[in-house]
Amino acid sequence: MKIRATIALVFLAAAAPAQDRYATIAQATNARMVKVFGSGGFRGVVAYGTGIVVSPDGYVLTAAGSLLDTPELRVHLPDGRRCSAKLVVIEPALDAALIKVEMVEDLPFFDVAAAAARPLALPGTWILGFTNCFEIATRDEAMSVQRGVIQAYTRLPLQRGIFEAPYTGEVYVLDAVTNNPGAAGGALVSRSGTLLGLIGKELRNAAADTWVNYAVPVQARIEVRDGEAKRIVSLAEFVSLGMRGQYKPTAKPEKSAGDGGYHGIVLVPNVVERTPPYVEETVPGSPAAAAGLRPDDLIVYVDGEPVISVAAFRAIMSRTHAGQVIKLEVRRGDRLEPVELKLGERKPQK
């Protein structure tokens, strides 16, 4: 009995300092992160995400996304302050963005250049993921913390619905459920608090059709075609040059697209640069009519991805095909309504 009691006391004594150490790391990491809020292009449809502070004067690294496409971008600091922010630059090939919080200084921050100079983390490395998943944190609340290990470092074909992920480099595959709504732009750190990567969006492995929890390493470097030339794009360079106003983003190559599957949605005339995709009418007997779409419905999401304009909706639908089932979310009055649509064959023009 004495031996068992001694072993128990030793175990508890060792566990307590470890618990305190992780709590200290969580506190230090939270001080270097922000909650990001935007309108996502629609009034009344609030989008939210996570960001990593990368400079004392308020530059924030986050995931590229529609929530940044707003003049009303705001950031909540760990101490509860609510600040205005502006988009600085987006790099499509990295699926990353740099934003600037206005009128702040002396913020705790992660040194991305120093983190990128370290070796890549190996599979089996214990990690902590910090995100604002499900908008659990708003003002001065701490980020959600999840623990796990790096399962693999590999390249994955990633997609969301009919959308292919723009980032095609290697990622850390994680055994923690980190990639939830609002988590994109979160921080992946080691158990000692070292920044390892940028947590990505909710995406599927296109090869296995399974959801993937992943992060883009801070050492990320990929080769991209920029016009006729090729060049290397790195996350560290993106942050460093972006903060100096010297980063030139790569142009995302346009893929050829056909007419896509037939839906029977007639949208309002596309008369301004960013006309919201309101339904004007549906063709009788069409998939849209069968699905119950109504005039004045505002199409907000296609397969979970925000759609900000008539032109964007048409571009998305051009990549679909007959027989494909797509899931829309439309704003009808003050509510978001799900609509499932099975696309048909396009009839030849007479």
Residue-wise pLDDT for 280-309, tens only, equals 999 999 999 999 999 999 998 888 778 888
Give the per-residue pLDDT at 168.
87
φ, ψ for residue 243, nearest 5 deg:
-65, -25
* Residue 178: CB atoms within 10 Å: 25
Confidence (pTM) = 0.78
Q: CATH for 29-243, among 3.60.21.10, 2.40.10.120, 3.30.300.30, 3.40.50.300?
A: 2.40.10.120
Q: Cα separation of 125 and 69, whole Å?
A: 36
Give the per-residue pLDDT at 276.
87
Which residues sit opposite 331 in a β-bridge?
298, 336
- With cut-offs at 50, 70 and 90, classify the pLDDT of residue 3: low
- With cut-offs at 50, 70 and 90, classify the pLDDT of residue 241: very high
Give the per-residue pLDDT at 350.
47
Residue with tokens 């305190």: 20
Q: Does the structure show a pLDDT above 50 at 248?
A: yes
User: Environment class of residue 175 by beta-carbon count within 10 Å: exposed (0-12), middle (13-18) or buried (19+)?
Assistant: middle
Which of the two residues, 51 and 260, has the higher pLDDT score? 51
Q: Does the structure show a pLDDT above 50 at 258?
A: yes
Q: Does the structure show a pLDDT above 90 at 319?
A: no
Which of the two residues, 347 and 156, has the higher pLDDT score? 156
DSSP label of 166: S
Give the per-residue pLDDT at 177.
92
Where along the chain do the CATH 2.30.42.10 domains lie? Answer: 265-342
Which of the two residues, 311 and 227, has the higher pLDDT score? 311
Provide the token pair at 99.
């934003």
Give the per-residue pLDDT at 5.
52
Where along the chain do the CATH 2.40.10.120 domains lie? Answer: 29-243
CATH fold of 265-342 = Pdz3 Domain (2.30.42)
Which stretch of DSSP H or E encloses residue 193? Answer: none
Pick the range with the lowest mean pLDDT from 10-19, 139-148, 247-256. Answer: 10-19
Q: Cα separation of 103 and 118, whole Å?
A: 32
For 47-106, give the DSSP string.
Answer: EEEEEEE-STT-EEEEE--GGGSSTT-EEE-TTS-EEEEEEEEEETTTTEEEEEESS--S
